[in-house]
């Protein structure tokens, strides 16, 4: 991995934010922009990669002490990161809850961030009986072109939320809107698992930079 000093000026996170906007950055680059610099022994890019891995593993459960367990993260950087997470939760994460979903297009604003992701992200949106959003969570982050997901991971939080139904969404970094054979297989599996649990799979939506497709509208749910 290149050190930050070896990255061309125009490709560094803060310069990219100025020229292209924050949405053009990967998760790791966003963290690089937040913490700014590394330590004598570790480059900022190495530290940020470790933080990204921790965020993927722990999600909303990540804490101050978790961050400080990473080599190169002291009280100042841990506080910066935790403050950014909390600000995001207060002003953006909470807006999802209470939103009512009646058609596939209602979901799109809740998953707009997926369009620019370079890896496949699988998201589960839990709904109550009135179709209002109870939770919006990333279940897995996969490789460039595919993500592996298991029904127990999808429905675990939905059960805790006492959800009546769920809508699953994942992105295709390749730009293709065609459901793959794997997409169809996991949709069938999730529908069957939801039926057993009493939590209906309403739809499975694929999004790309240029559009979206509803698997329900395709007759695949």
pLDDT in tens, the chain (221 residues): 788 888 899 889 999 899 888 878 888 899 999 999 999 999 999 999 999 888 776 766 688 898 999 999 999 999 999 998 878 766 665 445 567 787 878 888 888 888 888 888 999 999 998 888 888 888 888 754 555 688 998 999 899 888 999 999 999 999 999 999 999 999 999 999 999 999 999 999 999 998 999 999 999 98
Torsion angle of the four alpha carbons 39, 40, 45, 47, in this order, in degrees rounded to the nearest 10: -50
**Contact (Cβ atoms closer than 8 angstroms) between residue 120 and residue 171:** yes
| Superfamily designation of domain 97-214 | Cytidine Deaminase, domain 2 (3.40.140.10)
Spatial distance between the Cα atoms of 24 and 30, rounded to a whole number of angstroms? 9
Tell which residue, 2, 112, 117, 87, has the closest CA to residue 48.
2
Q: For residue 203, what are the β-bridge partners?
A: 167
57 CB contacts (<8 Å, ≥6 apart)? none
The ranges assigned to domains in the chain are 4-91, 97-214
3 CB contacts (<8 Å, ≥6 apart)? 43, 45
Spatial distance between the Cα atoms of 149 and 80, rounded to a whole number of angstroms? 32
Does pTM surpass 0.85? no
């Amino acid at each position: 991995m290149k050190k930050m000093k070896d990255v061309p000026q125009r490709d560094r996170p803060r310069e990219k934010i100025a020229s292209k906007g924050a949405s053009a950055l990967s998760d790791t680059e966003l963290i690089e922009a937040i913490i700014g610099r590394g330590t004598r022994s570790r480059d900022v890019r190495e530290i940020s990669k470790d933080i990204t891995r921790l965020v993927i593993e722990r999600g909303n459960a990540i804490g101050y002490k978790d961050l400080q367990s990473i080599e190169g993260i002291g009280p100042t950087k841990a506080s910066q990161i935790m403050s950014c997470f909390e600000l995001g939760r207060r002003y953006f994460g909470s807006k999802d809850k209470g939103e009512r979903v009646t058609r596939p297009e209602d979901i799109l604003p809740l998953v707009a961030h997926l369009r620019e992701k370079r890896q496949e992200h699988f998201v589960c949106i839990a709904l109550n009986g009135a179709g209002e959003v109870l939770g919006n969570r990333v279940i897995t982050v996969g490789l460039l072109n595919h993500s592996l997901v298991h029904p127990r991971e999808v429905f675990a939080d939905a059960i805790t939320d006492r959800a009546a139904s769920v809508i699953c969404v994942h992105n295709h970094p390749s730009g293709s809107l065609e459901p793959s054979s794997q997409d169809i297989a996991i949709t069938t599996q999730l529908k069957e698992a939801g039926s057993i649990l009493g939590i209906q799979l309403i739809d499975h939506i694929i999004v790309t930079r240029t559009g979206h497709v509803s698997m329900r509208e395709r007759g695949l749910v």
